[in-house]
Amino acid sequence: MVKEMKNSRTINRQDHILHLLEINDSISIRELSEELDVSEWTIRRDVEELHSRQIIDRYHGGIRLKDHSKDDLVFKEDSDLFSEKNRIGIKTAKILKEGSNVIIGSGSTVRFVAKALARFDKRLTIYTNSIEVCYELANKINYKVVCTGGNVHGDFFTLDGPVTEKLLLSNYFDVGVIGVSGLTVEEGLNIKSQLSALTVSIMIEHSDNLIVVADHSKFGRVYPNKIGDLRSVNTIITDATPPPEFCEFFAKNNIRLILA
């Protein structure tokens, strides 16, 4: 128990460090020590771990976020609601249980889940049809990452089609983590991509515990491609309290609402 509490405190402290670096271009060890009210030795230990994971760069007396400009040549970063999606990603990564088989979908918010998972030491088996998720986690030795295969959908960096569907249909997952383009009480869950709709529907059907990650702008939006009913969701993770009709529906149907 003591070890688990220590690990939790360390993760929360490192999240705080990364949050400060999102606001500031760089920050000194002394400033971090004062801000977090811990010793400089403790901060240096956190810095060493974050640096070993290639999340930050060190300079004399301080740190800055690692320059991932090369990544931007591969994938277009979604700048909309960056802070909100980052918080959702971190919260989702924290609640995934050690040893789980997880199916992860695609989308900008889901990519922040993958980015957050890259900071953790959990051992998970992760299936995904997202090229972006594969990219974020490919060199993380604590995760077994299984790419579904399939036809490349360049607009959304997804893999879809018969090969993808065959793999998903032959497996069941402890947890599913999906993003949506919109959700309503009446129309349920929907996405923009017609090509991905069947793929995500299978993920939903084959997940024992379904987590939907969605920032506040997704509530009340409707797109043509329905992927499931709202009742199929076990947990919603978002950044702000949804409109009253959603909160009432969640309470009535035992859907867990988590605010990041």
73-259 shares the fold of 2-67: no
The domain 2-67 having CATH identifier 1.10.10.10: the answer here is yes
d(CA 92, CA 109): 10
CATH code for the structural domain at 73-259: 3.40.50.1360
The residue type of 203 is M
Q: Which residues of 50-83 are buried (b: 16+ CB within 10 A; e: fewer)?
A: beebebbeeeeebbeebeeeeeeeeeeeeeebee
pLDDT tens sequence across 220-248: 999 999 999 999 999 999 999 999 999 99
For residue 111, which of 193, 213, 242 has the smallest C-alpha distance?
213
Who has greater pLDDT, 217 or 52?
Answer: 217
Domain ranges in the chain?
A: 2-67, 73-259
d(CA 97, CA 164): 25
- Classify residue 108 as exposed, middle or buried by CB count within 10 Å of its CB (0-12, 13-18, 19+): buried
pTM attached to this predicted model: 0.74
pLDDT of residue 22: 72
